[in-house]
Amino acid sequence: MKNTIFTGAGVALVTPMNEDGSINFDKLKEIIDFQIENSTDAIIACGTTAESATMSHKEHEQVMKFIIDYVDKRVPVIAGTGSNETYFAADLSVYAEKCGADGLLIVTPYYNKTSQEGLIQHFNYIADRVNIPIILYNVPSRTGLNITPETYKVLSQHKNIVATKEASGNISQVARIKELCGDDLDIYSGNDDQIVPILSLGGKGVISVLSNVAPKVAHDICEEYFKGNVKKSADLQIEYLDLINNLFIEVNPTPVKEALNIMGFQVGECRLPLVKPTNEHCKIIEESLKKHGLTK
């Protein structure tokens, strides 16, 4: 059995932007404090929700280091260091380790993609060059590439590959991963609407978009389940299902940044090519926030 990086709800943190599109580090402090004060179990820096795809190499390094330093071990920080270029991802992973990251989140190669054997070589190459735990990130809807359960089985034999963020949406696949990998691979839900189903298959929690606006709720869904209050956990997930769904009413992270702006956090808009949700969708997001008492 490998050591678990965290249990519960880790936030896939947004990156606040100034009006000119630069990164707003003062606001980043504010939303980190909000997360920790409201029971978030881990902070994921520079993931998909953070708009890492539109960050320069320098910005990526700056944001990772800033978050690691500011969090200062209050909760685990997992740094997103994935890329479709293996050697770049390895270099970024080494840098994150030097900065003090507690773990790494590494997405499957996108656009150029690869074979399952290519995935094995890609992830093992990176894992061989660091000494901190790695969470694989499987999100076929964005990358066009799925990690099969059989590939997970091979990858789980590496001492540094300890978990996966499963965002395939395929519960049958998650069950098969658990069957093949057992305690060699922790599983986190990559979808907020599947937290309880994945916990029921032995999952350790969720890497959550919902946590940006409702960290205590996402934490409590997991916490109640772990306490044995399965119905309470499931009821809470169902209660917030409208908000969970509306945070994906357009491509992530445009709805969640709009939600945070409505809540008064002023995190700015997304960088192009992502744009503000339509007026109709903004109203729907606001209605969900009001329903759950999340507007100031």
Residues tagged active-site = 137, 165
Residue 180 tokens, joined: 């093949």
Cα–Cα distance measured from residue 156 to residue 268, given in angstroms and rounded to the nearest whole number: 39
* b/e code 109-135 from CB counts within 10 Å (16+ = b): beeeeeeeebbbebbbebbeebebbbb
Residue 134 tokens, joined: 């790695």
Which burial class, exposed, middle or buried, applies to 291 when counting CB atoms under 10 A from its CB (0-12, 13-18, 19+)? middle
Residue 292 tokens, joined: 């759950």
β-strands 42-45, 103-107 pairing: unpaired
Cα–Cα distance measured from residue 296 to residue 128, given in angstroms and rounded to the nearest whole number: 47
Are 145 and 109 within 8 A, CB to CB? yes
Q: How far apart are the first and last CA of the chain?
A: 44
Are 103 and 132 within 8 A, CB to CB? yes
Cα–Cα distance measured from residue 60 to residue 96, given in angstroms and rounded to the nearest whole number: 10
H runs (alpha helix) in 210-278? 215-226, 230-239, 241-246, 254-262
Closest CA to 28 of 54, 20, 131, 36: 36
Q: Identify the DSSP state of 213.
A: T
Q: H/E element holding 66? A: helix 57-71
Cα–Cα distance measured from residue 281 to residue 7, given in angstroms and rounded to the nearest whole number: 33
